[in-house]
Structure 1
Amino acid sequence: MDALVFNVTTAALMVLMLKGGLALLGEGTLRGRRIPWAAVALTGLALAGVVLQACWSGAMDALDADPARSGWWRVLTSVFMQNGGLFGGAWNIATLAVIAALADWFWGAPITLGLFLAGILLPEQLDTLFGAGGHHSTDPRNFAGSSGATYLLGATLAAALLLRVLRELPTAGTGLEKVQRTEALFATGVPVLGLVMWFAQANGHGLVSVYGYVLGAAVCLLARPAAYRTRPAAPALRNMGRHGLMRPLATPASVADSVSAPMAAAVPPAAAPPHSPAVTAPAATQAAPAVAPHAGAHDERRCADAHRCSSTQMKTAWCRPRRGGTSAQGEE
């Protein structure tokens, strides 16, 4: 039962980190992002360690971090060894790939690799400094595995998410929106659950998460990544804005103008009074009625002088007047 609770709480802590990382980057922005080469490299090393264990029976004894054995390399090589069985090894590699990818997209490859290295070296030094490790360092589960460095790296994303929410507080107006409250819940849940796991279960994943949370907050304030300063937009929305497909919302005035213009054009002008000067104007000033053109194409049967029509006139379906000054239409 204790092992089940241990695994469930450890998985719950990872879920909080994953949700926080997705909220930090924006779930709709992942499809169009670059290849996270730092994540590819770290995952490749972890897979290479598994292959080495399968091909060499003495790999664990030579490369794990058992304090009973000596070797300066063990603290580094033990991270890429897996001792949790098939399910535990698959979980460690899968979470490493996802967390490292999210970190690479947020921090960039150099900072991601630096934070992962800190996840390897820092917990042991801090445990020794504060005496937090104690007898727990002799637990065989701590001799190998990438979960410790992965949890520290994931906690840095949760800290960056909380800092961004706090940074948006002055512009929030009436308070946090629903999305911001959810993000704050994910971000603050990581250190809280981590401390509970450490004190209640002596679960080292919780303690390294607290270390990573503090480290991530410090690095975020110094590096100030782009996703910390502004919320990233989805690639589809960025492309629409770049090509001018996004237009500002219509204002009430513009809507009223667009509705009134067709209505004004459809309403006929008011009729003039019977004795209006415009109606009783002299007949000499009134324009002569225009002669309507032939409908459709030029009709040679209706035009007596079709042979005298030019190409331009053919296009407009007009005929030149006859020699006597009378048009073909007038003759009809």
Structure 2
Amino acid sequence: MTDHFLSPALYVLMIVLVMKVMDGLPQRTFSLRRPPKVAIGLWLLVAIPSLLQFAFPGIYDNLHRDSDLIIDHGQWWRVYTSFMVQDGGVGGTAFNLFVLALIGFAAERVWGTRMLLAFVPALMLVFSVDTFLVHGPPGGGNSGLTFRLATSIAGLALLIRPGGRHYLLAAAIVVDGAVLLLLGDGHGEPMITGIVAGLIAALVQRRWPLVWQPVAADPAARGIAPEPKEAPEPESDLEGH
């Protein structure tokens, strides 16, 4: 990773592009009586230990990613707990929690509650395999998960709303991620792989719609044009007038 001065601008650009993608997708609506449960639960799961670590540093020490401890000492749980603590100080923590709140809410609107509940653990399982095999720098943070979740929306759009606009936006996200990688910022990788993950998840959702309940099938979802009503047939003139 790097603290290149262009990186924050490229992160924001990715978020803007994802929001543009969402404009063309059906979205589930939420309210105080019907909140986005998965997004709230995920945010609390990250926010509570991330904030408590400043008062109790032992939380970070026991949960952060450390390849030596994972590979050589069998502390495998660190692979799945490192997203719950932060290594970017107060500023990095505030940014990560804000973006997670934004993207978590957006993702649940387009993926749906049931699909998102399965999709988040799947992302963590699939993209953590290399941590068991390759020694890397220690650290923590939820940005990788959040960025993949964000750009998965673009992958979803490529399947359910194919068209020039979404192709262009997805390509722009890939370029954004590639520029980050060229700058030495590893956050570009989850931006790109998130699109692929979203496309695969969308294929799964399409294959088993009754199980995963795609938002596009929800009549109450915003952004779905109502089916045209058939015009009533003219009444027959029984009297011949």
TM-score (norm 1): 0.56
* Paired residue secondary structure (1:3): coil
Q: Distance in 2 between matches of 1:23 and 1:150?
A: 21
* Greater Rg over alpha carbons, structure: 1
2:186 maps to which of 201, 204, 209: 204
* Paired residue secondary structure (1:69): helix
CA contact (8 A) 1:116 1:152 kept: no
* Paired residue secondary structure (2:4): helix
Residues matched between the structures, number = 218
Q: CA deviation digits over 1:238-283, x for unaligned, max 9? A: 7xx9xxxx999xxxxxxxxxxxxxxxxxxxxxxxxxxxxxxxxxxx
Q: Distance in 1 between matches of 2:165 and 2:35?
A: 28
Q: CA deviation at 1:89?
A: 1.0
Q: Which amino acid aligns with 2:184?
A: A
CA contact (8 A) 2:67 2:131 kept: no
Q: CA deviation at 1:9?
A: 1.7
- Look up the match of 2:118: 114
Q: CA deviation at 1:39?
A: 0.2
CA contact (8 A) 2:67 2:132 kept: no
Q: Distance in 2 between matches of 1:59 and 1:128?
A: 21
- Look up the match of 1:186: 169
Matched, 1:93 2:89: no
Distance 1:232 1:19, change over 3 A: farther
- Look up the match of 1:155: 151
Q: CA deviation digits over 1:109-156, x for unaligned, max 9? A: 232133222332322325778xxxx77x32x5xx10111011111121
What is the root-mean-square deviation in Å for CA atoms of aligned residues? 3.4
Distance 1:247 1:117, change over 3 A: closer
- Look up the match of 2:128: 124
Q: Distance in 2 between matches of 1:227 and 1:31?
A: 12
* Paired residue secondary structure (1:4): coil
Q: Distance in 2 between matches of 1:151 and 1:210?
A: 9
Q: CA deviation digits over 1:311-330, x for unaligned, max 9? A: xxxxxxxxxxxxxxxxxxxx
Q: Distance in 2 between matches of 1:118 and 1:11?
A: 25
CA contact (8 A) 2:30 2:36 kept: no
Within 5 Å, give how 1:1-332 maps onto structure 2. Answer: 3-25=4-26, 30=29, 34-70=34-70, 71-125=75-129, 137-138=136-137, 140=138, 143-166=139-162, 181-198=164-181, 200-224=182-206, 226-228=214-216, 234=222
CA contact (8 A) 1:159 1:217 kept: yes
Q: CA deviation digits over 1:169-194, x for unaligned, max 9? A: xxxxxxxxxxx644443233222322
Distance 1:36 1:144, change over 3 A: same
Q: CA deviation at 1:62?
A: 1.3
CA contact (8 A) 2:25 2:161 kept: no
> How much identity, in percent, do the aligned residues show?
29
Distance 1:220 1:9, change over 3 A: same
Q: CA deviation at 1:31?
A: 6.4
CA contact (8 A) 1:120 1:149 kept: yes
Q: Which amino acid aligns with 2:169?
A: F
Q: CA deviation digits over 1:23-58, x for unaligned, max 9? A: 3235xx756694110001001111211232133122
Q: Distance in 2 between matches of 1:47 and 1:205?
A: 20
Q: Which amino acid aligns with 1:69?
A: L
CA contact (8 A) 2:112 2:214 kept: no
Q: Which amino acid aligns with 2:86?
A: Q
Distance 1:114 1:85, change over 3 A: same
